[in-house]
Structure 1
Amino acid sequence: MDQHIAEAIGRPDLIRLDDRLVCLRFETMKVVSALAAVRHLLDTGAVRRGDTLLDSSSGIYAYALALACHRHGMRCHIVGSTTVDHTLRTQLAVLGATLEQMEPCSDLKLDQKRRVERIHEILAAHPEYHWMRQYHDDIHYLGYRAIADRVREATGADGLTVVGGVGSGASTGALARYLREGPDGRAPSDVELVGVQPYGSVTFGAEHVSDPEIIIAGIGSSIPFGNVAHELYDTLHWISFAAALAGSVDLLRRHAVFAGLSTGAAYLAARHERERAPERTALFIAADTGHRYVDTVFARHTEAAPLAALTPQDIQNQGELTLPWSRMHWNRTPTATAVGRASIDSGSASWRSTS
């Protein structure tokens, strides 16, 4: 029996949708990483019960960290994006979390920059606060080991292609890392990792191509993230809002899975990878439910293109990126620089954690 609701929320469902197509469905995925990270900090003495944990969030991580703090008797302080909605604001308030929400801003990069600046201001005034650094500390990988064990048990792992939004790198990167270790930690498993990115994200060099609709929050970034391990990824898909919308609508219509926009993008990519390699099983990550996207995505279901009309453009480098969908072999290249683009941030290595 679970001791706290966060443990139940963080436990995903494994659903076989079709032959060699599996959905790893979360209610709220980042609860997994937040719970494990806070538990690790407590166990190692880095924080104590009653301390304040601080971070920036566009929404999902704010809820996850508030739940983890509630579970472990911590205080929670969130610097929130303009995208934090009324429902989440209300939940955070009742859970006892402090939310500072940025003023409305149409520029995601400026919104992220302002949030980071505010984090530093808070730390200067309250050096006793612990900054969780969800985008820069690979302590957030820890919670996915148990998920990888469950996936291995259900699928066997060999001949498995994991597909999901890159985001901070924690979910897809951690799953691939733990799955590749094999069941005994010695015999590597045949696991390929496919990362999904929005246009405009700097993480794998697409900042020069903009999406006329929106950047899909949660799977990309307009600022460098320190805990993305580029060398874990075999293939990348850049998927536009319109294509992801079509994926989300088809996933609900065909398989009755109600999930978010990043899931629609991952579903598209997973279907394509399965068709390219019929001998492999494709598992894609559904990071959250579709409730936040009712008005912006599902209410527009009549606009959704049929999936048969959507095919990725295979490219050799980021200079060839084109909407609505591009695909490129990454070949586990350690950095974005090695694939022919300028360094996104010469200091990003200093953000990496040894935990």
Structure 2
Amino acid sequence: MTAPTTPAVAPARIHEHITDAMKAPDLIRLSGNVVLARFETMKVYAALGAVRTLLRRGRIVPGQTLIDSSSGIYALALAMACHRYGLRCHIVASTTVDAVMRAQLEVLGATVDQMPPSQSLRLDQERRVRHVRQLLARRPDFHWMRQYHDVVHYAGYREFADLVTEALPGSELTVVGAVGTGASTGGLVRALRGSGRAVRLVGIQPFGSVTFGSERFSDPEAIIAGIGSSIPFGNVRHDLYDTLHWVDFRHAMAGAVGLLREHAVFAGLSTGAAHLVGSWEAERDPGRLHLVIGADTGHRYAERVFARHAEALDPRTVRPDRIHTLDDLRPPWSVMEWARRSHPQSVVPAEESS
């Protein structure tokens, strides 16, 4: 056994604002061909990039109120970006936003309207959008950030792509991450491919999401925030994705608990699903480097996931069902070669596209 060595200490960097310290991920090698990009709050890239771009274009001005709906981590990222650039922030929060997150938002100066408890992701999202529209009707001076539909949220991920290029040089790369709003995986991969790099994109969806056609299913155990949607998202570019995995709550839980148990990384459910999927993909293609996106920490899942760790499936014993069409889709875990095609159901409703 090789004796442990003391790593070289990199020079400390002093940041001008907490967002600079938080935005870049820690890159952790999980195996020979799997690297985890572990974020505290990944959407700091989206919020900072969007706010800076909108300020530069004159679409917003200091002192203005920015408004959006969120299930959690985008809300915190937007509140911090507003704190940095002298803007006000109003969040229409999902029922899934917990007391700790709400307290952070309020201390940062954001005002928060939270939706009542709901067992339906669709109802929760529809209520939030309806409430935003009601507020905008009364306050036309508010700027709606529209994280689900405004492509400006792609802008910040170019910086992440530069970081990946520097840290993980080479030609072939597979990115594995939750689809969510589409901006994080889409922004990263579009920037990487734009530089000429050969990049596969593997997306992850929950059952019940309309984004890639699993809306006829339901997953009664949980709403997996940040992975899917019950309404179409304009920022999802279906033709960027090579492969799709649909993962249920119990399999995402297995990945999250397994990641903590095997690698001491405490991360959320979307990261757990990405870890599970990334490990399977890496086994099938051992000569290719796989970058797994870990969007946030596990704190908001402490009770629903990690306190139940004894119930978790062993991620080494589970495998997906390979399917060829959406008609064959079935829980608990399916995989399909999407082959970068468009989706006929991806059109954003008129009331959401304005």
Is TM more than 0.5 here?
yes
Displacement of 1:345 in angstroms is: 3.9
* 1:81-92 mapped onto 2 (5 Å cutoff): 81-92=94-105
Output the CA distance in 1 between the equivalents of 2:347 and 2:198: 32
Query: What are the equivalent positions in structure 2 for 1:262-273 lying under 5 Å apart?
Result: 262-273=270-281
Is the CA contact 1:157–1:179 (under 8 Å) kept in the aligned structure 2? no
Counterpart of 2:236, as a letter, is V
Percent of residue pairs identical: 58
Q: Distance in 1 between matches of 2:124 and 2:348?
A: 22
Which residue of structure 2 aligns with residue 151 of structure 1? 164
Alpha-carbon deviations, 1:229-275, whole Å to 9, x = none? 00100000000100010100110111111100000000011111111
Which amino acid counterpart does residue 164 of structure 2 have in structure 1? Answer: V
Residue 16 of structure 2 corresponds to residue 31 of structure 1: no
After the TM superposition, which residues 132-171 of structure 1 pair with which residues of structure 2 at under 5 Å, given as runs?
132-171=145-184
Residue 124 (structure 1) aligns with: 137
Deviations 1:204-241 (A, max 9, x none): 00001111312311110001101100010000000010
- Do structure 1's residue 99 and structure 2's residue 109 form an aligned pair? no
Partner of 1:329: 337
Amino acid at match of 1:305: L
Which of residues 239, 259, 276 is equivalent to 2:267? Answer: 259
Q: State the alpha-carbon separation in 1 of the partners of residues 237 and 187 from structure 2.
A: 9
Report the alpha carbon displacement of residue 88 of structure 1 after superposing the two structures with TM: 1.1
Task: Report the counterpart of residue 59 of structure 1 in structure 2.
Answer: 72
Q: Which residue of 2 aligns with 1:312?
A: 320
**In the TM superposition, what are the counterparts of 1:227-242 in structure 2 within 5 Å?**
227-242=235-250
User: How far apart in 2 are the matches of 1:143 and 1:157?
Assistant: 22
SS in 2 for 1:194: strand
For 1:351, the equivalent position in structure 2 comes to 353
Map of 1:275 onto structure 2: 283
Which stretch of the first structure deviates more once superposed, 11-20 or 199-208? 11-20
Q: Deviations over 1:1-44 (max 9, x none)?
A: 32111111111111111100000110001111101111111111
Residues of 2 paired with 1:146 and 1:110: CA distance? 35
Structure 2 Cα separation of the partners of residues 209 and 77 of structure 1: 33
Q: Distance in 2 between matches of 1:332 and 1:196?
A: 14
Taking the aligned partners of 1:274 and 1:294, their CA distance within structure 2 comes to: 28
d(CA) in 2 for partners of 1:55, 1:177: 25
CA–CA distance in structure 1, aligned partners of residues 213 and 118 of structure 2: 24
Q: What SS does the corresponding residue of 2:293 show, helix, strand or coil?
A: strand
What SS does the corresponding residue of 2:266 show, helix, strand or coil? coil
- Between 59-68 and 150-159, report the one with greater CA deviation: 150-159
Mapped partners of 1:235, 1:173: distance in 2: 13
Q: Name structure 1 gaps, 5 residues minimum.
A: 183-187, 338-342
Are 1:10 and 2:17 matched, yes or no?
A: no
Could you give the per-residue CA deviations for residues 130-175 of structure 1, whole angstroms, max 9, x where no partner exists?
Answer: 0000000111111111111111112125210000000000110111
CA RMSD in angstroms comes to 1.4
Report the CA distance between 1:78 and its aligned residue: 0.7
Is residue 234–residue 346 contact of structure 2 (8 Å, CA) maintained in 1?
Answer: no
- Give 1:209's aligned residue: 217
Q: 1:340 maps to which residue?
A: none
**What is the alpha-carbon distance in structure 2 between the residues aligned to residue 138 and residue 39 of structure 1?**
14
Match of 2:11 in 1: none
Q: Where do residues 184-195 of structure 1 align in structure 2 (5 Å cutoff)?
A: 188-195=196-203
Name the TM-score, length of structure 2 as normaliser. Answer: 0.94
TM-score using structure 1 length? 0.93
Shift of 1:307: 1.6
Aligned to 1:291: 299
2:193 to 176, 180, 183: 180
Secondary structure, counterpart of 1:41 in structure 2: helix
Give 1:200 deviation, angstroms: 0.3
The residue aligned with 1:74 is 87
1:138 alignment partner AA: V
Report the count of equivalent residues.
Answer: 341
**Residues of 1 paired with 2:300 and 2:253: CA distance?**
13
Distance 1:346 1:65 in 2: 23
Query: What is the letter of the counterpart of residue 294 of structure 1?
Result: A
Q: Could you tell me which residue of structure 1 aligns to residue 10 of structure 2?
A: none
CA distance in 1, matches of 2:97, 2:107: 15
* AA of the residue aligned to 2:209: S
**Which range moved further: 210-219 or 37-46?**
210-219
Distance in 2 of aligned mates of 1:13 and 1:142: 21
Q: For residues 309-345 of structure 1, what are the alpha-carbon distances to aligned partners after superposition, in whole Å with 9 as ceiling and x for unaligned?
A: 21000001111111111000000002x22xxxxx354
